[in-house]
Amino acid sequence: MGKITGFLDYIRKDDPQRPPLERVGDWNEFHLPLSDDVRAQQGGRCMNCGVPFCQAGMLYEGTTFGCPLHNLIPEWNDMIWSGNRGHALSRLLKTNNFPEFTGRVCPAPCEHACICGQYDSAVAIRDNELCIIEDAFSSGGVKRLRPPQWSGKKIAVVGSGPAGLAAADQLNHRGHSVTVIEREAHPGGLLTYGIPNMKLPKTVVRRRIDLMTDEGVSFVTGVDAAQFKTAKRLMEEYDAVILCCGAERPRPLGFDAKGVTGVFYGTEYLKFAVERQVFDMEIPAASFARGKDVIVIGTGDTAADCVATALRQSCHSVTQLVRRRREDYLDADGNLPADYAHEEASAVFGLDPRRFGVQVQSLAAGEDGALTGVVTTEGDALPCQLLIGATGFSGCAENVCKAFGVKKGRIVQTEAGHFCTNVEKVFAAGDMRRGASLVAWAIAEGRAAAAEVDRFLIGYTNLVASI
Ligand SMILES: Cc1cc2nc3c(=O)[nH]c(=O)nc-3n(C[C@H](O)[C@H](O)[C@H](O)COP(=O)(O)OP(=O)(O)OC[C@H]3O[C@@H](n4cnc5c(N)ncnc54)[C@H](O)[C@@H]3O)c2cc1C
Ligand code: SF4
């Protein structure tokens, strides 16, 4: 244990954030690091509880408590306190392939399970995690690890989101030859095309892909594995195939938008935004928010990211319509929690963008079909030239499952507690098997699928799986 009285001596300090009005002017990351002294104190606040619920990773009534990866949190908190960051890194990498992603975007269910948080504020676990890995990257502590020998087995991983990347990383380190097949022009899945740059800089994703490439993983982009001939070839040429294609099918919007331009799903809108801002590509003018009245439907991460992105594209106004009542979102003290995007919208326009208990009833469009406004269930007519539906996901794509002959309901069906599908040597992991979830769960899924594939290929495994 770090400092025995640390939780009494030090208060929680989160990583500082750039002021909202400053950060909406660019796409740069908005969190800043703490000084080393203060970071050590944040590690010292960990109480090293007899039962560290923070690392339990349990699902209770659909909500995650504790870390899905079973990160060895009290151990690395102790090492942060004692200044042994190198040792902290080795413990962190035992359970998490990509702490630089989770340290930035994980909603930190570990902190909800932190006993210190029952009496005061939880230990700043996520920020501590980020500090360990970023410190290691900047000091040369992250080394290229190539397997000492190759097994001769070939594995295709379809999809390069966090689940596919974790599976590929694990199997590559076991000495299997891994090729990651990705439909888009750049790897990373929602890390690249969903979560915006200010939350997860694309240079951070690229840094990991480059490291994995250097370690032996091959990435092939721009290939759609939902083509029957591609799927057939993959099954013929590889010893195992792992499908990690996400749960990209959006939930229907609930109103008729046929023939109207200016209506997008949240993931479509965010993808266009990344393509324009990061990859300098041409995107449809209707998907760009500059000068427009923007309405975002829905709540959760995707909706918040759409609000923050519209602000950075200099929208004229932004409103977020939330179906449920405001009371449903209040915390124990009766306050309405605000995401980073809500703080930013309040700073720019002087009011919280959320309107609760309201839905879109119908759309208004000009003769050319361009959206001009919406009518809400309260009867208001709101001006709107860009409408973004971030109402969640209804499961994985049909076409890729068909191409591989894999059974699916809403998501791919695997044997209970396993990752193998009904098709010999085809496995599935991540959102595609679990349903839309979190980056930490996707990494946990990729690791567990890798362990199962390793056992399938060589009869045993020493890969560690948390699920
Ligand atoms: C906007 C947004 C914000 C989010 N923010 C957070 C957050 O802050 N924190 C958090 O923990 N989680 C967040 N999530 C959830 C998280 O991103 C996902 O749970 C996670 O990315 C799932 O990982 P995955 O690897 O299973 O799938 P994905 O990341 O969806 O990757 C699937 C990959 O498969 C590829 N693919 C699909 N079909 C094919 C095909 N036929 N051929 C080849 N490749 C194919 C896709 O192009 C994609 O690259 C967010 C999700 C969204 C949409
Ligand atoms: S991955 Fe998420 S839940 Fe696990 S330790 Fe990191 S922040 Fe906490």
Answer yes or no: do 223 and 239 share one domain: yes
Q: From ligand 1's centre to the CA of 440, what distance in Å? A: 12
466 in a structural domain: no
177 in a structural domain: yes
Q: From ligand 2's centre to the CA of 110, what distance in Å? A: 6
Instruction: State the average pLDDT over residues 438-457.
Output: 98
Residue after which a domain boundary falls, among 105, 139, 173: 139
Residue after which a domain boundary falls, among 375, 391, 407: 391
Answer yes or no: do 271 and 237 share one domain: no
- CB–CB of 279/201 below 8 Å? no
463 in a structural domain: no
254 in a structural domain: no
Query: Which range marks the domain in which residue 226 is found?
Result: 154-248+395-458
CATH number at residue 78: 1.10.1060.10
Q: From ligand 1's centre to the CA of 430, what distance in Å? A: 8
Question: Residue 292 and residue 372: Cα distance in Å, rounded?
Answer: 10
Determine the atom of ligand 2 nearest the C-alpha atom of 111.
Answer: 8
Q: Report the domain count for the chain.
A: 3
Structure token pair of residue 79: 């090492």
Which pLDDT score, from 0 to 100, does residue 119 have? Answer: 87
The DSSP secondary structure of 226-263, one letter per residue, reads TSHHHHHHHHHH-SEEEE-----EEPP-SS--TT-BSE
447 in a structural domain: yes
Q: Which residues lie with the beta carbon below 6 Å from any ligand 2 atom?
A: 67, 69, 71, 73, 102, 106, 108-110, 125-126, 129, 440
428 in a structural domain: yes
Which pLDDT score, from 0 to 100, does residue 155 have? Answer: 98
Residue after which a domain boundary falls, among 77, 112, 139: 139
Answer yes or no: do 382 and 408 share one domain: no
From the list 413, 395, 376, 191, the residue with the least C-alpha distance to 295 is 376
From the list 311, 296, 298, 310, the residue with the least C-alpha distance to 263 is 296
467 in a structural domain: no
Determine the atom of ligand 1 nearest the C-alpha atom of 181.
Answer: 43
Task: With a cut of 70, say whether residue 1 has pLDDT above it.
Answer: no
Answer yes or no: do 174 and 234 share one domain: yes
Question: Residue 422 and residue 402: Cα distance in Å, rounded?
Answer: 12
Which pLDDT score, from 0 to 100, does residue 466 have? Answer: 85
Q: Which residues lie with the beta carbon below 6 Å from any ligand 1 atom?
A: 105-107, 158-164, 181-184, 189-190, 194-195, 224-226, 244-246, 248, 267, 270, 301-302, 305, 397, 400, 430-432, 437-440, 442
146 in a structural domain: no
pLDDT in tens, 207-266: 999 999 999 999 999 999 999 999 999 999 999 999 999 999 999 988 889 999 999 999
- CB–CB of 143/423 below 8 Å? no
- Per DSSP, what are the bridge partners of residue 87? none
Alpha carbon distance, N-terminus to C-terminus of the chain? 27
CATH number at residue 451: 3.50.50.60
